[in-house]
């Protein structure tokens, strides 16, 4: 329940959430994952920051630079039809960005641990689109044993969690589907970080934090961030243990404002984080704004030509959040 504060006019309003805290964070062990537009975002955030992002989970997402700054290619990227760029060509487009220092050197991509997922009943993003993510990472010389690709489950479009509110083959909000005992958060985190302690049995909630400090320095904001983000900090991390960070990018129409805690709690990341010195960051996009009414992460260049680089509005905002968690900002 939201905490209420009294304004000067005596009208109760939700209290502003607390600032994002700082902890003993090892940013060299950062990882990311996301669904749909968040899956595209996870790929581009990883490639832009491959020197520090050691692993990525892409659930029904697509390849880096797929839309090539042309929103008209979005449908082609989601369905991987004949009009879209091929993965090798996309990798070759990333090479000069690395040469100019706009993204990290691509050598860092080679060491990444990559988890990919496409449900056989996904009606929104095709398996061919996720195949292209695998092709991109192969073009970047990621060894085959570092890529785990699951595409044999009769799942629809969504994160997969045993406590998910949707049936396995659903393609509807909140886009969190139950497919038997399949635990996608555990699969992603175990693939990235290796042997982990078992998850806790009870759901662990994330708490809100103020995202306004991560807007543009002049008060303007190209990022489209919501006012509030969410973070789960396990007791050990709050108590001074050295911890890594995993960033979860929600899909379109999947922010807390739209689906409640379906992603920030039910998807299962926090249960794994609790016993494994792992902070989980859930940045939030705003919904209902002109140009981005569904609250999607930008993988098409709508926020500017630098969208897929470290100076892109959204990538820069998330990097600032990570630096804040590590006490570097």
State CA 39 to chain mean position distance.
6
- Number of alpha carbons in the 13 Å side-chain half-sphere of residue 90: 26
**Strands 244-249 and 278-282, how do they pair?**
parallel
CA distance linking residue 57 with residue 38, whole number of Å: 10
Q: Determine which one of 122, 131, 183, 306 is catalytic.
A: 122
Secondary structure letter of residue 10 according to DSSP: S
Q: Is 104 a catalytic residue?
A: no
To the query of whether residue 122 is one of the catalytic residues in this protein, the response is: yes
Among this protein's residues, is 157 annotated catalytic?
yes
Among residues 157, 191, 232, 250, the one annotated as catalytic is 157
**Active-site residue among 31, 33, 36, 258?**
36
**Rounded to the nearest 5°, which phi and psi values hold at 114?**
-120, 125
Residue by residue, DSSP assigns 128-177 as HHHHHHHHHHHHTT--GGGEEEE--S---SSEE-TT-SB-TT--STT-EE
Rounded CA separation 166/172 (Å): 8
Active site residues: 36, 122, 157
């Amino acid at each position: 329940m939201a905490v209420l504060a009294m304004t000067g006019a005596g009208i109760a309003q939700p209290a502003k959430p607390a600032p994002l805290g700082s902890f003993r964070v090892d940013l060299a062990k950062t990882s990311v994952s996301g669904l749909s537009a968040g899956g595209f975002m996870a790929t581009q955030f990883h490639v832009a920051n491959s020197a520090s992002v050691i692993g990525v989970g892409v659930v029904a997402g697509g390849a880096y630079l797929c839309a090539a700054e042309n929103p008209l290619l979005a449908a082609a990227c989601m369905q991987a039809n004949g009009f879209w760029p091929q993965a090798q060509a996309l990798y070759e487009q990333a090479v000069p960005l690395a040469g100019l220092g706009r993204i990290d050197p691509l050598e860092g991509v080679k060491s990444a641990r990559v988890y990919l997922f496409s449900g056989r009943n996904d009606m929104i993003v095709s398996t061919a689109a996720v195949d292209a993510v695998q092709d991109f990472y192969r073009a970047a010389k990621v060894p085959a044993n570092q890529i785990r690709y699951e595409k044999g489950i009769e799942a629809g479009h969504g994160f997969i969690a045993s406590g998910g509110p949707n049936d396995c083959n659903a393609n509807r909000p909140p886009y969190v589907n139950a497919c038997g005992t399949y635990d996608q958060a555990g699969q992603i985190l175990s693939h990235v970080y290796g042997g982990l302690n078992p998850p806790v049995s009870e759901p662990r909630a994330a708490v809100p934090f103020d995202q306004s400090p991560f807007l543009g320095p002049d008060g303007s904001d190209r990022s489209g961030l919501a006012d509030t983000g969410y973070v789960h900090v396990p007791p050990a991390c709050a108590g001074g243990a050295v911890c890594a960070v995993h960033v979860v990018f929600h899909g379109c129409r999947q922010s807390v404002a739209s689906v409640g805690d379906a992603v920030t709690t039910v998807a299962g990341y926090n249960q794994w984080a609790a016993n494994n010195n792992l902070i989980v960051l859930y940045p939030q996009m705003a919904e209902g704004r002109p140009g981005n009414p569904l609250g999607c992460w930008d993988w098409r260049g709508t926020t500017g030509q630098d969208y897929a680089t470290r100076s892109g509005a959204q990538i820069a905002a998330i990097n600032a959040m990570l630096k804040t968690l590590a006490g570097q900002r």
